[in-house]
Chains A and B, each alone.
Chain A
Amino acid sequence: MQPAISTQPATTRCNFYHLFSVDKSNGTALPLGSFADDPNQSGVENFLSAGDLVFSGSSLYLTAYKQSDFNPLTKTRNYLLQLDRNNGSVLGSNQLLSGANDVRDVFGLAVVNPMFGLGFIGNSNDPAVFTINPSNGSVSNVYSITPSGGGGPIIVPKPTGATFVPTGGPQPIPEPSTLALVIYAAGVWLGWRSRLLLKA
């Protein structure tokens, strides 16, 4: 039986970052292991702040910060970690870089072949979508996220997550191209002219 949830303040807090296996039928989340080591343990690199998880094939990736250089104000230097899906341990890490620029606040990852990320490049406060090479962390094909119909980049709100759209999922309604409109108008005009000529 699921115990009731109290609204009382927390009685205990701890500072570990874990990978969980979640029962999608009820939300039960069992910790598989920590991907950040004991923050009090010296000489071990710790990773903080789970941005987003994504599977690429059987490999599991996570975006996070290094505790040793984490600045909560600037949130620079995001890393892409490869995790052991069985226990959350870090198998490898690469700093996410767009050229020489740090990539920060990557709270969205999705694999549609290739891997895509949502985040901020350098000092920009405009969210962007980009591709990620998981083997070295390099970021390319950067596009500012812009609402359809114009209006410029979205500064607020901020992306918090992402996932792939299934085959047959919602597709954007295509806007008729200028060429299509010109052809259509020309056809209507020619049709009207030919009718006039036939009547004459």
Chain B
Amino acid sequence: MHRFSLVLTVACVWFSSVQAGPLIYMCDDTGKLWTVDTSNGTATILSSMHDSSDNPVVMTDIALDPTTNVLYGISSDDRLYTIAPSTGLASPVGQLGFVTGGLFRVVDANALEFDAAGNLYAAGDDTMQLLPSI
């Protein structure tokens, strides 16, 4: 009987777990990374995003590369990072922007997305800065 109840318990736990809806990652303005159950709004903290010096990193958007399953983010200071979801470690990839006329134009973006082939796109908001390059 004890074994039977254990099997039933596991079955019930499994049944309750498969009732969850699709999950999405969510980042917030304090630098936390969450999963959100889209079937009921339940949010679970995965990690607090930080750099290798343990400084918090706030992402303005995140995107998952479907070809590698690597999570990327753009920070509030317009840098591109890769993110380890379980630990929150954010590793810098580079400053978002491009060189033009001998200057580095920073792209102030808060939207990031991959297409199915792994090509990355961003959308910028109201300012782009021209900074002197050395």
Contact = CB atoms under 8 A, between A and B. Distances in A.
- Specify which of B114, B125, B133 lies most central, judged by the most chain A CB atoms within 10 Å of its CB: B125
Interface string A144-169: 11111000001011111111111001
- Specify which of A3, A5, A27, A194 lies most central, judged by the most chain B CB atoms within 10 Å of its CB: A27
Contacts of A14: 127-128
B2 A180 contact: no
B26 A159 contact: yes
Contacts, number: 300
Interface residues of A, number: 90
Interface in A3-38: 3-6, 8, 10-31, 35
B43 A154 contact: yes
A158 B14 CA distance: 32
Interface residues of B, number: 90
- Specify which of B41, B69, B116 lies most central, judged by the most chain A CB atoms within 10 Å of its CB: B41
A18 B123 CA distance: 6
A50 B9 contact: no
A105 B121 CA distance: 20
B59 to A, nearest CB: 6
Contacts of A74: none
Interface string B105-134: 011011111111011111111111111111
A52 to B, nearest CB: 5
A191 interface: yes
A20 B121 CA distance: 6
Nearest to B63: A163
Contacts of B13: 174, 176-177, 180
Contacts of B109: 20, 29, 50
A129 B36 contact: yes
A48 B125 contact: yes
Contact of B123 (A35, A159, A191): A35
A13 B108 CA distance: 11
Interface string A166-190: 1001111011110111011011101
Contacts of B97: 27-29
Contacts of A3: 99, 104, 133-134
B113 A55 contact: yes
Given A17-B124, A129-B41, A162 B64 contact: no
Nearest to B116: A55
A108 interface: yes
Given A50-B110, A176-B9, A187-B4, 19 more contacts: A5-B104, A6-B104, A24-B72, A29-B97, A29-B107, A48-B125, A52-B113, A107-B110, A143-B40, A145-B26, A147-B42, A162-B26, A163-B62, A164-B64, A174-B16, A174-B20, A180-B9, A181-B9, A190-B5
10 contacts: A22-B112, A25-B94, A54-B113, A55-B113, A58-B116, A160-B58, A161-B112, A162-B36, A174-B13, A174-B17
